[in-house]
Amino acid sequence: MQDVTDLPFWRLMTRYGGADLYYTEYFRVTPSSGLDKPILASITQNPTDRPVIAQMIGNDIVALVRTAKELGYHPIAAIDLNLGCPAPVVYRKCAGGGLLRDLPRIDKILGALRDAIPGKFTVKTRLGFDTEKTLEALLPLFAKHSIDLVTVHGRTVLQMYTGGIRYDLIQMASKSLSCPVLGNGNVSTPADAETLLRETGARGLMIGRGAVRNPWLFSQIREHLAGNAITYPTGREVLAYIHELYETVCDPSIPDPKGVQKIKKYANFIGEGISPEFLHAVRRVGSKEAFFALCKEHLDHGNAMLLEPELI
Ligand SMILES: Cc1cc2nc3c(=O)[nH]c(=O)nc-3n(C[C@H](O)[C@H](O)[C@H](O)COP(=O)(O)O)c2cc1C
């Protein structure tokens, strides 16, 4: 996740169990782009002990091919193309999710990248731009270009992050493609993970916001799928996570109120799992002191926390 799941964040995740596989933030690819150094560091200094997939976003074929070749010199498990980013600044330039309006162009990009990438080439997609019907036309393109793994976020681009996840369409992708499919969208609890896997036949899950909200989620899913009891953190353990997160992602030399902005970005996700009152208040704090006073007020207790979002 752009500006969220960076190298320091990955390091923190691994202390909580962590994922089986990590995707980098996307490398923005334009005719004049080079490899973004902080994102490249998450590959060259990968602290996770797990494979890393490098993600690219862009639409210029020459630049994408050049970037894929540059990435090929680094220790990556695959190169991924982003066909899902819903940010208007991205899709208006016909990149990310914007490409889903232009399947002939996707066809050309996939063909050129397939020829240029000797290793694994993967794709992350939404169902379509403004209609989920696009997926049906997209899947044969993935098959034609022998994509090695496809992640499907079960929403259209225009849905952004609202609306239910179309398990039926992720299932359609799983059934029709011979490569593994990962299901993505709204996995916030071990039960969500189990449901998504069961209903879609997906081979695995991609988890975004849920990992920030609940770094124990990966371990909890493993426990649940193995038929074991789920271990939930206490309020104080969640508080300790937020302190660690602050130490990890914030630069203490940046004065407030700007200094506290970065942790508020993460707290927006975490707050969805705490309470609507916390979420409302955290969006308004202007200093580190006020932020931690609020966290203490809501989390200084020994009760188990499910960290399930009420609001999404
Ligand atoms: C702040 C933010 C940044 C994101 N950046 C990326 C990205 O760089 N690449 C990507 O494939 N998806 C990105 N996503 C989308 C997530 O990977 C995921 O598809 C989406 O949030 C739905 O899954 P979730 O409900 O597990 O979060 C981002 C999402 C958010 C909220």
Looking up tokens 């909200």 gives 213
pTM metric for this prediction: 0.97
Q: Are residues 140 and 162 in the same domain?
A: yes
Domain membership of residue 189 as a residue range: 20-206
Residue having the nearest C-alpha atom to atom 17 of ligand 1 = 208
What is the rounded distance in angstroms from the CA atom of residue 32 to the CA atom of residue 62?
11
Q: Does the residue 4 lie in any domain?
A: no
Query: What's the number of CA atoms in the CB half-sphere (13 Å) around residue 247?
Result: 8
pLDDT for position 259: 86
Q: Does the residue 306 lie in any domain?
A: yes
User: In this predicted model, what pLDDT tens digit does every residue of 20-49 receive, in sequence order?
Assistant: 999 999 999 999 999 999 999 999 999 999
Q: Are residues 116 and 251 in the same domain?
A: no
Which stretches of the chain are DSSP H helices? 7-14, 37-44, 61-71, 88-91, 103-116, 134-144, 167-176, 190-200, 209-213, 217-225, 235-249, 258-272, 276-282, 288-299
Q: Are residues 192 and 265 in the same domain?
A: no
What is the rounded distance in angstroms from the CA atom of residue 35 to the CA atom of residue 125?
22
Looking up tokens 């997209």 gives 138
Q: Does the residue 14 lie in any domain?
A: no
Q: Are residues 248 and 184 in the same domain?
A: no
Which of 160, 176, 206 is where one domain is finished? 206
**Which atom of ligand 1 approaches the CA of 186 most closely?**
25
C-beta separation of 184 from 152 below 8 A: yes
CATH number at residue 191: 3.20.20.70
Q: Are residues 237 and 180 in the same domain?
A: no
Q: Does the residue 3 lie in any domain?
A: no
Q: Are residues 50 and 145 in the same domain?
A: yes
Q: Does the residue 5 lie in any domain?
A: no
pLDDT for position 273: 96
Query: What's the number of CA atoms in the CB half-sphere (13 Å) around residue 288?
Result: 15
**Which atom of ligand 1 approaches the CA of 207 most closely?**
26
What is the rounded distance in angstroms from the CA atom of residue 160 to the CA atom of residue 202?
22
Q: Are residues 188 and 266 in the same domain?
A: no
User: In this predicted model, what pLDDT tens digit does every residue of 147-197 receive, in sequence order?
Assistant: 999 999 999 999 999 999 999 999 999 999 999 999 999 999 999 999 999
Taking each continuous run of H as one helix and of E as one strand, the counts in the chain are: 14, 7
Q: Mind telling me the catalytic residues?
A: 85
Which of 185, 206, 227 is where one domain is finished? 206
Q: Are residues 226 and 183 in the same domain?
A: no
Q: Does the residue 15 lie in any domain?
A: no
**DSSP assignment letter at 230:** P
Which of 206, 224, 241 is where one domain is finished? 206
Q: Are residues 112 and 238 in the same domain?
A: no
What is the rounded distance in angstroms from the CA atom of residue 104 to the CA atom of residue 292?
51
The SS3 assignment for 303 reads coil
pLDDT for position 312: 43
Q: Are residues 196 and 240 in the same domain?
A: no
Cα torsion angle, 202, 207, 213, 217, sign: positive
Q: Does the residue 307 lie in any domain?
A: yes
Q: Are residues 165 and 198 in the same domain?
A: yes
C-beta separation of 90 from 96 below 8 A: yes
Question: 22 pairs with which residues across the strands?
Answer: 52
pLDDT for position 310: 77
Q: Which residues line ligand 1 (CB under 6 A)?
A: 1-2, 4, 25-26, 55, 82, 84, 124, 153, 184-187, 207-210
Residue having the nearest C-alpha atom to atom 6 of ligand 1 = 1
Number of domains in the chain: 2
Residue having the nearest C-alpha atom to atom 19 of ligand 1 = 153
CB-CB neighbours of 134 under 10 Å: 20
Q: Does the residue 2 lie in any domain?
A: no
Q: Are residues 255 and 288 in the same domain?
A: yes
Q: Which residues of the chain register pLDDT less than 70?
A: 311-312
pLDDT for position 54: 98
